[in-house]
Amino acid sequence: MSSTENMLATVNHNFDRAAQFLDYPDGLLAQIRQCNAVFKFHFPVRKEGPGGGYEVVEAWRAEHSHHRLPCKGGVRYAPDVDGDEVQALAALMTYKCAVVDVPFGGAKGAVRVDPRRCSPEQLERITRRYTAELIRKNFISPGVDVLAPDYGTGPREMAWIMDTYLQIRGGEIDATGCVTGKPVNLGGIRGRREATGRGVAFAVREACNDTELMKQLGVPPGITGKRVAVQGLGNVGFHAARFLAEAGAVLVAVSEVEGTLYRAGGLDLEAVMRHRAETGRITGFPGATDLPRTAVLEVDCDILAPCARENVITADVAPRVKARMVAEGANGPVTADADAILRQRGITVIPDIYCNAGGVTVSYFEWLKNLSHVRFGRMQKRFDEMSKGRLVDTVARLTGHGMDDPVRRTIVQGPGEEDLVNSGLDETMSVAWQEIREVMRQMPRVGDLRNAAFVSAIRKIAVSYMELGIFP
Ligand code: NAD
């Protein structure tokens, strides 16, 4: 493994590449790049099964940037996670929030544990203890640092985090805003579960509808008929695959830890998931070909979406990627060396700090909902319906043309929470894409989308520091 195949080195390498194009004092760039605070800690947890005893669990919370508060970032449960990885992921959160104009600093947490080998009871004990340690050190609260799901965690863990926080800090009026990605009944928001994958699909749509980019790649514009391969069918991968297929793409390959499933004519995702629920694996699906786990990265397709883990497309793999475009659903799936090879081969990479920013965007909406203590749409849905109804009825009366009830209902329907969340996400991904492309037009030498996204992020963070009077 080369030095740049450590994720922290990759993120810093990408920062440095972009920083060359920016004219700020060195101190300012160094401050933006540096991780502000890392809390590394250990706590004991009773072992499961016969024999008893305790094991010591290793955990982290890294707050990369405090230029905006609160900090925001997921919590990862994985047996091989380390401090560098957590800092790298926290840094990505800072840049990601800036790219999509989410007013947060970046953070990330992790617990070195294999969730597949733990009972739900053990995971609950670990999650509650992890949260209590963060509270003691002021590394969690709605105004300081807001947690969220990541690899190996989901709404269940977020509910435990919130409950622990409420037990200790129950009197705080905004306490539920200490964590996002919660179940909807506990203050979560409709659309958060799907948000990252939906955002990946929006990002791919923006790229495919960009006629200039598609011309450079030598492929026809539009998402319809594009052959897609997705690595990982967890939260991000499953929803990305689902929304890409719904948008008209053809899902030719999916992979999970047990292997890759390939079918040139396209896979029915729901049927694959049913098959996995029945047999415990995606492989062995009728009518499709089983391939090794990593084969998904090399299958013949137009768009490859790595949505599992970091560092999967290495310098070894990059020369064999057949896709014309790589959409980084996961954080850091392409190493710096591999990125250079893909660029040289004319393959476009939609970078993680833009591509998977849908999750933090909708987490931001959830946090706003928690702080305002009201569901989006509750105050205006009925009002919108009544005013549109009056307009439609007036037009009908004046023209003498009435309207069928179902048609009238579709026209006058006011937006519910999920409609507002999805349209807010759509708008965010669309605006951020335009900003990244504008950087490329203004500064042609930046060359690629990742560099342009980093330039866009660093500029926005630099402005915050300068407006704070630091680094005038
Ligand atoms: P998840 O735990 O829900 O899913 C990950 C899936 O990948 C699992 O099903 C796992 O079995 C599978 N997997 C692991 N190694 C694999 C391999 N080598 N080949 C194929 N499949 C493999 O996690 P997630 O929340 O979907 O996160 C996935 C990635 O997306 C991570 O990099 C995470 O940091 C990033 N991400 C997640 C979110 C979010 O909202 N959950 C937001 C932004 C970025």
Q: What is the pLDDT of residues 127-149, one digit of tens each?
A: 999 999 999 999 999 999 999 99
Q: By the 8 A CB rule, do 414 and 384 touch?
A: yes
Chain CA centroid to CA 149, Å? 10
Q: Is the pLDDT of residue 2 over 60?
A: no
pLDDT at residue number 472: 65
pTM for the whole structure: 0.95
Domains of the chain: 37-188 (3.40.50.10860), 194-355 (3.40.50.720)
Residue 357 CA: which ligand 1 atom is closest?
Answer: 43
The rounded Å distance from CA 219 to ligand 1 centre is: 29
Structure tokens at 373: 């203590």
Where do we find the tokens 């250990």?
A: 42
Of the candidates 108, 182, 226, 381, the residue annotated as catalytic is: 108
End-to-end CA distance of the chain: 41
Residue 195 CA: which ligand 1 atom is closest?
Answer: 40
* Pocket perturbation via mutation, ligand 1, pick of 236, 260, 297, 304 by most ligand atoms within 8 A of CB: 236
- Band (pLDDT 50/70/90 cuts) for residue 48 is confident
The alpha helices in 112-188, defined as continuous H runs, are 120-136, 155-169
In tens, the pLDDT along 248-265 reads: 999 999 999 999 999 999
Residue 317's CB is within 10 A of a number of other CB atoms, namely 17
- Band (pLDDT 50/70/90 cuts) for residue 69 is very high
* Pocket perturbation via mutation, ligand 1, pick of 7, 200, 309, 365 by most ligand atoms within 8 A of CB: 309
Element at 146 (helix H, strand E): strand 145-149
Q: Is the pLDDT of residue 41 over 80?
A: yes
Q: Is 108 a catalytic residue?
A: yes
Structure tokens at 134: 């963060």
pLDDT at residue number 5: 62
pLDDT at residue number 368: 98
The rounded Å distance from CA 231 to ligand 1 centre is: 9
Q: Is the pLDDT of residue 93 over 70?
A: yes
CA–CA dist 78, 367 (Å, integer) = 26
Structure tokens at 193: 């579960």
**DSSP strand E in 297-387: where?**
303-306, 325-327, 348-350
pLDDT at residue number 4: 45
The rounded Å distance from CA 171 to ligand 1 centre is: 35
Name residues whose C-beta falls within 8 Å of residue 158's C-beta, 6 or more positions apart in sequence: 147, 148, 149, 179, 180, 181, 182, 183, 188
The DSSP secondary structure of 373-387, one letter per residue, reads: TS-TTTTTHHHHHHH
Name residues whose C-beta falls within 8 Å of residue 452's C-beta, 6 or more positions apart in sequence: 436, 437, 439, 440, 443, 446
Residue 231 CA: which ligand 1 atom is closest?
Answer: 20
Residue 394's CB is within 10 A of a number of other CB atoms, namely 10
- Angle (nearest 5°) at CA 151 between 149 and 156: 45
- Band (pLDDT 50/70/90 cuts) for residue 170 is confident
Element at 278 (helix H, strand E): helix 269-279
Q: Is the pLDDT of residue 412 over 70?
A: yes
Q: How far is CA 94 from CA 49, 63, 79, 437, 471, in A?
A: 41, 9, 25, 20, 19
- Binding pocket residue ranges, ligand 1, CB within 6 Å: 149-152, 196, 231-237, 255-257, 293, 307-309, 329-331, 356, 359
Q: By the 8 A CB rule, do 288 and 309 touch?
A: no
CA–CA dist 160, 128 (Å, integer) = 6
Question: Per the omega criterion (within 30 degrees of 0), is the bond before 70 cis?
Answer: yes
The rounded Å distance from CA 386 to ligand 1 centre is: 43
The rounded Å distance from CA 206 to ligand 1 centre is: 23
Q: How far is CA 413 from CA 82, 272, 316, 369, 464, in A?
A: 49, 35, 53, 22, 40
Mean pLDDT of 47-65: 92
Mean pLDDT, the chain, integer: 95
- Name the residue at shortest CA distance from atom 16 of ligand 1: 257
Question: Can you tell me whether residue 349 is helix, strand or coil?
Answer: strand
pLDDT at residue number 468: 81
Encoded amino acid at 281, one letter: R
* Pocket perturbation via mutation, ligand 1, pick of 235, 238, 317, 328 by most ligand atoms within 8 A of CB: 235
Encoded amino acid at 314, one letter: T
Name residues whose C-beta falls within 8 Å of residue 69's C-beta, 6 or more positions apart in sequence: 104, 105, 143, 144
pLDDT at residue number 52: 83
The rounded Å distance from CA 355 to ligand 1 centre is: 14
